[in-house]
Amino acid sequence: MQERLSLNLGWLFKPSFDQGEISAPAWDTYQPITIPHTVKELSYNCFSHDETAMVSSYVRKFTVPETYRGKRVILEFLGVMARYQLYVNGEFASEHRGGYSRSRVDITGLLHEGENTLFLMVDSTEDRQIPPFGYTIDYMCFGGIYRDVNVIFTESAYISDVLLRYDLEGTTAQLYPEIQLDNAAEAFWARVEVEIQDPEGNCVHRYENQADFPAGFSNPILDKHPVAGLTLWELDRPYLYSVTVNVIREDGTTVDRVTARTGFRTVLCKPDGFYLNGKKRKLVGLDRHQSYPYVGYAMPERAQKRDADILKSYLHVNTVRTSHYLQSEGFLSRCDEVGLLVFSEIPGWGYIGDEKFKEVSHQDIRDMITTQYNHPSIFIWSIRINESGDDDEFYAKSNEIAHSLDRSRPTTGVRCIKNSHLLEDVYSFNDFIHWTREYKHYRELVLQNQQSVTGLPYKVPYLVTEYCGHIYPVKPFDGEERQLRQAQVHARVQNANYARNDAMGAIGWCAFDYQTHGDYGSGDKICYHGVMDIFRMPKYAAYVYRSQVDPEQELVMEPCTLFARGENDDNKPIPFMVCTNCDYVEVECYGKNIGRFFPSLVYSSLPHPPIMVDNDPGTWVDLWQGGTIIGYYQGKEVLRRTYSRDAYLKDLKVTVDDTQLHNTVPDATRVTAAFVDQLGNPLPYYNGVVCIETSDNLDVMGPRTVAVVGGHIGFWVQTKPICRKEAGYVKIRAINTDIPEKRIDFTLCPDDQVRVL
């Protein structure tokens, strides 16, 4: 049976490549590293977009442990940017092209007794034959072995993937798993046992089938088998089952056994909307890039997963688009667990290259569908290069590949052009009309009618996959007015999204700020398009989404104001907007209650329209007294926020996502630190500096002395898996202040799920 061990530790790296070292590495010229790894840590901003474009070398000594002697040895790479060549003991083993897809290499035949040498030449230059490269791209791809590396020890035959195919009617699934098996020996016939377990691990159904497995790769599909009484996967109850597939030879010995996880649900995309389990759902989402400050993509899974939590539980959206590439297993698994729908996309940005480029793109589609098939959260495959032109021959083949691998999900492709040839099941469109019309010609048009986009004489399933983004970038330190403007654009588009019935939904550009090439961004290589900044700290636009949650689930009241008299034109703190799901708010200002304010009719299609507070009773010579905003729900006061006339620096508010981390694998969590006044309100214009200190078993990913951006900072703390101590700490000191040092204590324990070699 296969056993998977992590091979993230024990690597050596150097940022150059010399052909001669393939067979004879100059060991002492390398530095020890752990994976995930980036070829070069960048500064927060103002780096050169070429800094990570290099050819580098990774080496590792590798000995097959005694227990696995005689087994097949497969190396598994989950993400290497952008092309690698693997050599084992100086012999070429394989090449992989594509920075976002999984690859596996059987190295059994190249190994010898005792110590072996693995050598990886990693080419992180922007090769125009590998998507997304070839022209300009509005995002950084970084470089290196940035996702996990594993080694799989198996018998001569092993299950490489199980695709849990099913048809669902009511709560009964006709299950027909596809077993992808890699057989290095003779053909055989086998019994296949299938067992379905509920989330507690109880067996809810078991049955048997049979299949022939020829030599080489085969992928028999088992007969359809009914499984009744299932609990469906829903957004508010993301129920997941495990399915174990056991392949047993005639003589009773197990060939291989794997367990995969899935959820049972139906998805349907129609011209009038999107249906999950037969119920219509308006898709409200945000696009996500997987990059982080300093280390780019090289962020351990725990932090990747956290993004799914932020989207679902903080921003309260129901959909995410993996713009513009295959994202990590950890992120997708977490989307399954929290009930967040995923629009999964292949790599690419505007450019279609030559035949080799197209081959890689088609391979990306195969890899995406094979490796991500079992995620119930994924409702659609986006198989065109984002915002590329029409190329019917290329895209007809792309659709054919996707449909032949998966009949249960629709295909789509994201366009910025109108009247594009629709070869997919859903027409997806990036609708930035409110820029061209509203701001240029002073006409309000928020989203376009679908037929004016598709040019078709009839309606088709249609989805808006981007809006806002570059039309209104906002930095964390931008003033109230600009922050408010971005929030209002998001509110207006989502209002139109809710109001229309000719689209499945709208996904906004984007969740988090991201690093980019010099062709884009604010001159500092950052696109400030997020509703949250790169540290995942909210801007006002985030509150528009956050406040749409059912108040019975969470009460939200986020004022889009600093409540300071001189921040806006003419010394006026009012008008301002409050994003809330309260029934109304009351505001106290200039020492008196200035009234009760209700959800704005401008956004009346939103479940919880923001409230405009627009009754400024004062003049600039009046004594400013700060103010209070009070939220009421069902007649009762539920939330209150008070602002001081004399806000002064009082504290550094520190939060941490996790205080328990693993010390056997590289593991990471986020810490945030925000300067606040004496009432706990943020001070976005305080330009302080913080120093970070850690116990010797923890590392900071990035610099340890940092200036805040917009009054706050976020950083990620990573465990050093070579130190097995059970406790660690982080201390944060705000220099040049009286604020007492902050300390976070961590407990560290082994990761039982991951065995390390």
| Strand boundaries in 505-567, DSSP class E | 505-508, 514-515, 526-527, 557-560
3 state DSSP class of 104: strand
Give, as one character, the DSSP assignment of residue 622: S
Q: Which helix (H) or strand (E) holds 255?
A: strand 254-262
Among 21, 329, 345, 466, the one annotated catalytic: 466
268 versus 416: smaller Cβ distance to ligand GAL:
416
387 versus 533: smaller Cβ distance to ligand GAL:
387
Length of the chain in terms of residues written: 757
Minimum distance, C-beta of residue 453 to ligand GAL, in the bound complex (Å): 15
Minimum distance, C-beta of residue 132 to ligand GAL, in the bound complex (Å): 10
Query: How much is the CA Rg of the chain, to the nearest whole Å?
Result: 27
Give, as one character, the DSSP assignment of residue 739: P
CB 665 within 8 A of CB 721: yes
Minimum distance, C-beta of residue 530 to ligand GAL, in the bound complex (Å): 11
Minimum distance, C-beta of residue 466 to ligand GAL, in the bound complex (Å): 5
CB 749 within 8 A of CB 660: yes
Residue 505, sorted as left (phi over 0), alpha (psi -120 to 50) or beta, turns out to be left
Q: Is 164 exposed, middle or buried (0-12, 13-18, 19+ CB in 10 A)?
A: buried
Among 126, 387, 480, 558, the one annotated catalytic: 387
Q: How far is CA 74 from CA 96, 152, 427, 442, in A?
A: 14, 5, 40, 60
Q: Which two tokens stand for residue 377?
A: 């959260």
Q: Which two tokens stand for residue 147?
A: 């996702």
Minimum distance, C-beta of residue 625 to ligand GAL, in the bound complex (Å): 41
Q: How far is CA 438 from CA 115, 271, 443, 494, in A?
A: 66, 27, 4, 16
Q: Which two tokens stand for residue 249?
A: 């030879």
52 versus 430: smaller Cβ distance to ligand GAL:
430
324 versus 434: smaller Cβ distance to ligand GAL:
324
Minimum distance, C-beta of residue 652 to ligand GAL, in the bound complex (Å): 33
197 versus 386: smaller Cβ distance to ligand GAL:
386
What is the rounded CA–CA span in Å between residue 15 and residue 40?
8
177 versus 508: smaller Cβ distance to ligand GAL:
508
CB 719 within 8 A of CB 697: yes
What is the rounded CA–CA span in Å between residue 121 and residue 115?
20
What is the rounded CA–CA span in Å between residue 88 and residue 23?
9
Amino acid at 204: V
* 466 included as an active-site residue: yes
Minimum distance, C-beta of residue 527 to ligand GAL, in the bound complex (Å): 7
Minimum distance, C-beta of residue 41 to ligand GAL, in the bound complex (Å): 24
Task: Give CA angle at 37 (90, 12), nearest 5°.
Answer: 40
Q: Which two tokens stand for residue 356?
A: 């080799």
Edge-first strand listing for the sheet containing 576-580? 557-560, 576-580, 611-613
Name the nearest CA neighbour of 430 among 409, 413, 455, 411: 413
Chain CA centroid to CA 209, Å: 37
Minimum distance, C-beta of residue 549 to ligand GAL, in the bound complex (Å): 26
Which positions lie near ligand GAL, rule CB under 6 A?
A: 138, 323-324, 386-387, 416, 430, 466, 469-470, 509, 529
| Strand boundaries in 30-114, DSSP class E | 31-33, 55-63, 72-77, 80-81, 83-88, 91-97, 103-106
Any idea which residue has 């052909």 for tokens? 19
Minimum distance, C-beta of residue 319 to ligand GAL, in the bound complex (Å): 16
Residue nearest ligand GAL, CB atom distance: 469
Task: Give CA angle at 704 (701, 705), nearest 5°.
Answer: 140
* 480 included as an active-site residue: no
430 versus 664: smaller Cβ distance to ligand GAL:
430
Cβ within 8 Å of residue 487, ≥6 positions away = 539, 540, 541, 543, 544, 560, 577, 579, 610
Minimum distance, C-beta of residue 138 to ligand GAL, in the bound complex (Å): 3
3 state DSSP class of 33: strand
430 versus 719: smaller Cβ distance to ligand GAL:
430
Minimum distance, C-beta of residue 359 to ligand GAL, in the bound complex (Å): 23
Name the nearest CA neighbour of 465 among 432, 491, 487, 439: 432
Q: Which helix (H) or strand (E) holds 220?
A: none
Minimum distance, C-beta of residue 454 to ligand GAL, in the bound complex (Å): 18
- Virtual CA dihedral for 503, 504, 507, 508, nearest 10 degrees? 30
| Strand boundaries in 89-187, DSSP class E | 91-97, 103-106, 115-123, 144-145, 149-154, 157-163, 166-169, 172-175, 178-183
Task: Give CA angle at 327 (325, 329), nearest 5°.
Answer: 150
473 versus 702: smaller Cβ distance to ligand GAL:
473
Give, as one character, the DSSP assignment of residue 435: I
415 versus 536: smaller Cβ distance to ligand GAL:
415
Q: Which two tokens stand for residue 51?
A: 């800094």
416 versus 754: smaller Cβ distance to ligand GAL:
416
Cβ within 8 Å of residue 203, ≥6 positions away = 195, 196, 197
359 versus 519: smaller Cβ distance to ligand GAL:
519
Catalytic residue numbers, as ranges: 387, 466
